[in-house]
């Protein structure tokens, strides 16, 4: 691999960008970032310079272009097997959980938009979103049931791509004060206290671009 470059959106708002960024950080891989402000008038043109799908994140590795957060995870796994758990049964579950996250949870994502520097109250998830929240918590518990707590605080003990995929979901639960099981709350704490997640949030706090109306009346900087 040559020097990697990750094209990302605003750290405040771009949950998809956080996923491969966090994975790269946990792998200890050096990479450059190209930030694209997603709500700038020329955002589409800026993204199109790098992304065949018109979306971020995009990983650039020499003349290779890899888009879609999960595909970026798989690309990195070719080089860094620790992207997934070592044991085959855990790896299968880790991939299934990550794929389910990547493909679904649309009500949750629409109703609880990502804003990692904000806390909000009064958002009542629809029944569809509540069912998805329940499913996320069940998935986390299933992943954790394959390990002993001594193996570490992440879904499979040590950090994997599945944690990267769910990190923005955990931050959303915190932002919106979603009441969860003790086990799920402990996992959210693990995500929030992660040094790389902290770096991401600190950088988000310094961003000045704001989606119009998005942060009206909110306790920005409370995270
Ligand atoms: N399935 C894609 C989702 C990427 C995505 O929706 N990215 C958003 C930013 S978080 C985006 O690029 N939005 C710009 C647009 O749709 O114009 C992935 O996993 O990478």
Cβ(137) to ligand 1 under 6 A? no
Domain presence at residue 42: yes
Check: CB of residue 118 under 8 Å from CB of residue 218.
Answer: yes
- Residue 56 CA to ligand 1 centre (angstroms): 5
Where in the sequence is the domain holding 90, given as residue range(s)?
84-202
Whole-angstrom Cα distance, residue 72 to residue 54? Answer: 16
Cβ(118) to ligand 1 under 6 A? no
Strand partners, 65: 60
Which atom of ligand 1 lies nearest, measured to the CA of 102? 19
Cβ(16) to ligand 1 under 6 A? yes
Phi/psi-derived region of residue 113, left when phi > 0, alpha when psi is between -120 and 50, beta in every other case: beta
CATH of the domain at 24: 3.40.30.10
Which atom of ligand 1 lies nearest, measured to the CA of 55? 12
HSE-CB of 137 using CA atoms within 13 angstroms = 16
In a shared domain, residues 165 and 178: yes
Check: CB of residue 73 under 8 Å from CB of residue 102.
Answer: no
Cα Dmax for the chain = 49
**Digits of tens for pLDDT over the chain (223 positions)?**
568 999 999 999 999 999 999 999 999 999 999 999 999 999 999 999 999 999 999 999 999 999 999 999 999 999 999 999 999 999 999 999 999 999 999 999 999 999 999 999 999 999 999 999 999 999 999 999 999 989 999 999 999 999 999 999 999 999 999 999 999 999 999 999 999 999 999 999 999 988 766 764 454 444 3
- Residue 176 CA to ligand 1 centre (angstroms): 21
- Residue 218 CA to ligand 1 centre (angstroms): 24
Domain presence at residue 127: yes
In a shared domain, residues 58 and 130: no
Mutation to probe ligand 1, out of 11, 16, 23 (largest number of atoms < 8 A from CB): 16
The pLDDT value recorded for residue 215 is: 61
Q: Last residue of a domain, which of 19, 48, 81?
A: 81
Q: What's the domain count of the chain?
A: 2
In a shared domain, residues 22 and 111: no
Domain presence at residue 35: yes
In a shared domain, residues 150 and 59: no
In a shared domain, residues 89 and 198: yes
pTM, two decimal places: 0.95
């Amino acid at each position: 691999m040559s020097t990697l470059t990750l094209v990302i959106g605003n750290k405040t708002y771009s949950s998809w960008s956080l996923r491969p960024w966090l994975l790269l950080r946990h792998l200890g891989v050096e990479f450059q970032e190209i930030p694209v402000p997603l709500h700038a008038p020329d955002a589409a043109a800026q993204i199109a310079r790098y992304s065949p799908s018109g979306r971020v994140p995009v990983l650039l590795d020499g003349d290779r272009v890899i888009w879609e957060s999960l595909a970026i995870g798989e690309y990195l796994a070719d080089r860094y097997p620790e992207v997934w758990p070592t044991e085959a049964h855990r790896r299968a579950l880790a991939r299934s959980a990550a794929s389910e996250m990547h493909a679904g949870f649309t009500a949750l994502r629409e109703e609880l938009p990502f804003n990692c520097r904000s806390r909000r109250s009064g958002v009542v998830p629809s029944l569809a979103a509540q069912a998805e929240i329940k499913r996320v918590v069940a998935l986390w518990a299933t992943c954790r049931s394959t390990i002993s707590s001594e193996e570490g605080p992440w879904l499979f003990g040590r950090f994997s791509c599945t944690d990267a995929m769910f990190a923005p979901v955990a931050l959303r639960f915190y932002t919106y004060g979603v009441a969860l099981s003790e086990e799920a709350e402990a996992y959210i704490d693990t995500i929030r206290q992660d040094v790389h997640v902290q770096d991401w949030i600190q950088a988000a706090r310094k961003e000045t671009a704001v989606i119009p109306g998005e942060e009206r009346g909110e306790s920005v900087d409370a995270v």
